[in-house]
Structure 1
Amino acid sequence: MGDILVGTCSWTDKALVSSGWYPPGRRDAEGRLRHYAERFPVVEVDSTYYGLPRPRNSELWVERTPPGFLFDVKAFSLLTGHPTRPEAVPADLRPALLREAGLRGGARPWGRRVADGALLDEVWARFAEALLPLRSAGRLGSVLFQFPPWFRAETATEAFLEQCRERARGWPVAVEFRHPSWWQEDRRERTCALLRGLGVAAVAVDMAQTLSVSIPPVAPVTAEELALVRFHGRSAAWGTGSKEDRFRHAYTAGELAAWVPRLCRMAERAGQVHVLFNNCCGDAAVRAAECMEHMLAGRTAVR
C-alpha cells in the first residue's frame, strides 16, 4: 500500500494569507512555508506557472522545509502552450518572445506554436536549472504539466506531449488534461496507454460535472511511482468570472468521503498518491485538506 500525501495547490495564495490561517509572527515568506510544512507533507508550487523560476527559489524552499517534504511544481505556461506574458520571462528573453509573437500573430500570441526553436530550448533549460536544487535534495514530488482547455485529444497533441516528456527525461512527471476528450469513454483506454508508455502519472480531477468542459472524475493510475488528484472545487463558474468565482467551494464531509475508497484503491497501485486541494478561496483548501487527512487516517498510510 502506497502513502497518501495530502496538501494544497499553494501556500502563498492571497486569499489564504488574508484568511488568518497563518498565525501572527509567521506571515512573512519564510514563516508561511515553515508553518505550512509543519501541517502537511506536500504542496503544489503554482507560481512557477506564472513566471519562470530561478534556482534560488528552490534552494530556499528546501532550506525552509523538513526532510521528506515534497514539492509538486507546476510547469511554466510557455512549456504547456498557454498564453505567456513577456513579463513572465527574464528580461533578456523578452525581445525574442515579442519578436516571435509579432511574426506569427494570432488570438493566442504566446502559445506553444509560437515558442519554437531556440527560445523554447532556452526556456526549458532555465526551468530545468531552477528545478535542480529540488531534484538534488530529493524534494521534487512531480512536475505538473497542466495543458490548456483547447488541448484536445488528437495526433498533434499526442506528439507534443511526447516531445514534452522527452525534454523532461528523468523528471517525475504528471499530466492534467483540461479538455474532456482525453477521458471520454471511447478514448479513455488510449489515453491511459499513452501515459503509461511515456511513464507519466495521470492527474485525476474533482470538479463540477454540469459543465460542457467538465472532466469526469476518473482516477487512473498510469505510473507505478505516483498518482495525483487535484480537487478544484465544484463551482458552476469554472472557466468564467473572477478567481474567487471559479474556486469558491467548501467541500462537505460527504463529498470528501466519497473519494476515500477511490484514493485507497489508487494507493494499492502507486507508491505515492498526492491529494491536492485547489479550491483556493479563503482557507477552504487547507480546511478540506485537514478533513481529508482525518478521514484517511487509519485507512491507509496517510502522512
Structure 2
Amino acid sequence: MTVRIGISGWRYDPWRGVFYPKGLPQHQELAFASRMFPSVEINGSFYSLLPPESWAAWRDATPPGFVFSVKGPRYITHILRLKGIDDALANFFASGLLDLRDKLGPLLWQFPPTMRFDPARFEAFFRLLPADTRAAGHLAAQHDARVAGRTALGDGRQRPLRHAIEVRHDSFVDPDFIALLRRHRIGLVVADTAGRWPDREDLTADFVYVRLHGAEELYASGYTDAGLDRWAERIRAWESGGQVSDARLTVPGEPPHHVPRDVYCYFDNDIKVHAPFDAVHLSERLGQPSALGPDGRFSLESSPLHRPTPVR
C-alpha cells in the first residue's frame, strides 16, 4: 500500500456511539479503529513521554500491515525549541516507540507559530535525526537518568525511518528551507489549517505527509465532496511522482525527482466527529475498500481491513 488514509488520534469522547459502536469498551477503541483505517497518528507522544508498555500494547492491538505515525515531543519543538536537545531526543527514542517494530511509520515534528526559520538550528536538528531504527537504537542508548528503568529499545532490526516537518510561521516560506529538507530527505507536511498558517506543497522526500485540520474551521469543520475530490486529485498526482498544476509552491516547478511517493494522510478535524467519515470518503475516491456498512456506519463486519483474530 502506497497511500494510507487515516485519523489523527483515536480516543475522543464524542466519537463513542457515532464512530465507535455503542457499548464498545474504551480499551478496544484502537483495535476497532485499526480495522477501519490502515494508519493512525499517535498524538499523546507530543505531550509527554509515554511508558514502554503503552507502545507494546498498541503494537499488539493492531493487525498485520497496520502503521502508526508518531508525533515528536513538544518539549523538543516548543519548549527547548531545538536548543540543547540531545538528551531529550535520546529519551524520546528510548521511551518505547521502537517497540512498534514494523508498525512504526513516519515521525512528525510540529513547530509552534512563533518559531521562525533558523537555518543553522534546523540543519543541526536534521543531522541529529536517525535515518533508521538501528541508528535510533544507538541514540536511545544514550538516554539520561530521567527515563532509567522505563525504556525499551526495540528488537534491534534495521528499518528505515522517515521524518516530516510541520511549520506554522511565514518565515519558512523560503527556498533555503525547501533545499534543506530535500538535502536531508525530510518531508514537508502539507497542512490544511483553514488558512490560519502557511500551506505549501513542495515535495521534498520520497513520501508525502498530509494533515487535514479542517477547511473552514480549525479541528471542527468537515470536508465537502468538492473538497475531498480536490485532495484525491492531489494524492493521485503525488503517488505517481507528479504535482498538480495549482500546487502552492515555495520553489516553482516540477519536483526534482519524478518518482512514485508513498502518501500518509490524516484527518485532524475531530471535534465534531468529521474525521473518520471524511477519511473513509477520501479513501473511497482513491479506489480503496470502504469500511462503511450499508447503513452508513462503521463495523467490523463491513471492514475489509478486519482480520479474523478476535478483538480482545
TM-score norm. by structure 2 comes to 0.72
Q: Is the 8 A contact 1:219 1:266 kept in 2?
A: no
Structure 1 residues 179-258: aligned runs within 5 Å:
179-183=169-173, 187=174, 189-209=175-195, 213-216=196-199, 218-224=200-206, 226-236=207-217, 246-258=218-230
Q: Per chain length, whose mean CA-contact separation is higher, i.e. which structure has more relative contact order (CA < 8 Å, sep 6+)? A: 1
Greater fraction of residues in helix: 1
Residue matched to 1:27? 25
Is 1:78 matched with 2:75?
Answer: yes
Q: Is the 8 A contact 1:219 1:262 kept in 2?
A: no
Structure 1 residues 16-55: aligned runs within 5 Å:
16-17=15-16, 20-29=18-27, 31-55=28-52
Greater than 4 Å deviation, 4+ residue runs: none
Q: Which amino acid aligns with 1:152?
A: R
Other structure's SS at 1:247 match: coil
Other structure's SS at 2:265 match: strand
Residue identity (%): 29
Measured after TM superposition, the shift of residue 233 of structure 1 is 0.3
Residue matched to 1:275? 265
Which whole-Å deviations, capped at 9, do the CAs of 1:189-241 have from their partners, x for residues lacking one?
A: 332211011121111011223xxx4323x3222111x21110010345xxxxx
Is 1:112 matched with 2:112?
Answer: no
Other structure's SS at 2:282 match: helix
Other structure's SS at 2:21 match: coil
Residue matched to 2:136? none
Measured after TM superposition, the shift of residue 25 of structure 1 is 4.5
Residue matched to 1:133? 99
The whole-number CA distance in structure 1 between the counterparts of 2:25 and 2:120 is 44
Q: Is the 8 A contact 2:108 2:165 kept in 1?
A: yes
Which whole-Å deviations, capped at 9, do the CAs of 1:38-63 have from their partners, x for residues lacking one?
A: 11000100110011122222111110
Q: Is the 8 A contact 1:54 1:126 kept in 2?
A: no
Residue matched to 2:275? 285
Measured after TM superposition, the shift of residue 163 of structure 1 is 2.6
The whole-number CA distance in structure 2 between the counterparts of 1:164 and 1:67 is 33
Measured after TM superposition, the shift of residue 282 of structure 1 is 2.9
The whole-number CA distance in structure 2 between the counterparts of 1:279 and 1:259 is 15
The whole-number CA distance in structure 1 between the counterparts of 2:165 and 2:2 is 20
Residue matched to 2:128? 167
Measured after TM superposition, the shift of residue 255 of structure 1 is 1.0
Which whole-Å deviations, capped at 9, do the CAs of 1:61-99 have from their partners, x for residues lacking one?
A: 11000111111100011111x14xxxxxxxxxxxxxxxx
Is 1:4 matched with 2:3?
Answer: yes
Residue matched to 2:87? 122
The whole-number CA distance in structure 1 between the counterparts of 2:182 and 2:123 is 12
Greater shift, 144-153 or 31-40, is seen at 144-153
Q: Which amino acid aligns with 1:172?
A: R
> Gaps (5+ residues) in structure 1?
84-110, 237-245
Measured after TM superposition, the shift of residue 162 of structure 1 is 2.4
Which whole-Å deviations, capped at 9, do the CAs of 1:107-164 have from their partners, x for residues lacking one?
A: xxxx437x63xxx433222210122112xx21111110001101222xxx22222232
Residue matched to 2:53? 56
Q: Is the 8 A contact 1:7 1:277 kept in 2?
A: yes
Other structure's SS at 1:259 match: helix
Other structure's SS at 1:144 match: strand
TM-score norm. by structure 1 comes to 0.74
Provide the aligned length of Structure 1 versus Structure 2.
242
Residue matched to 2:14? 15
Measured after TM superposition, the shift of residue 181 of structure 1 is 2.8
Which whole-Å deviations, capped at 9, do the CAs of 1:273-293 have from their partners, x for residues lacking one?
A: 001101111321001101101
2:232 to 251, 260, 264: 260
